[in-house]
Structure 1
Amino acid sequence: MSDEPIQVSIRILDKDYRIACAPHEEQGLRESARILDGKMRDIRKTGRVIGTDRIAVMAALNIAHELFQLQKSRTVDGGEIDPRLTLLQERVAQALAAEQALDASGERV
Structure 2
Amino acid sequence: MSQVSVKILQQDYVLSCPDGQEEALREAVAKANLAMLPLCESAKVRTREQAAVLAAVNFAFQNQALQKHIQQLPLQAQAMPFVPPAADNARLRALIERLDQALAAPAAQTNA
What is the TM-score of this pair, normalised by structure 1? 0.63
Q: Which of 48, 56, 77 does residue 60 from structure 1 map onto?
A: 56
Structure 1: gaps of 5 or more residues: 87-109
Supply the distance in 2 between the matched residues of 1:39 and 1:59 (Cα, whole angstroms). Answer: 6
Bigger Rg, which one? 2
Runs of 4+ in 1 over 2 A off after TM superposition: none
Q: Which of 28, 49, 53 does residue 24 from structure 2 map onto?
A: 28
Supply the distance in 2 between the matched residues of 1:45 and 1:70 (Cα, whole angstroms). Answer: 28
Does the alignment pair 1:48 with 2:36? no
SS at match of 1:17: strand
Aligned residues: 76
Supply the distance in 2 between the matched residues of 1:45 and 1:69 (Cα, whole angstroms). Answer: 27
Match of 2:70 in 1: 74
Q: Partner letter of residue 48 of structure 2? A: T
Cα deviation for residue 32 of structure 1 reads 0.5
| Superposed CA offset, 1:62-90 (max 9, x none) | 010010111112222xxx63xxxx9xxxx
Q: Identity, % of aligned pairs? A: 31
What is the root-mean-square deviation of aligned Cα atoms in Å?
1.9
Cα deviation for residue 22 of structure 1 reads 2.2
Supply the distance in 2 between the matched residues of 1:60 and 1:14 (Cα, whole angstroms). Answer: 18
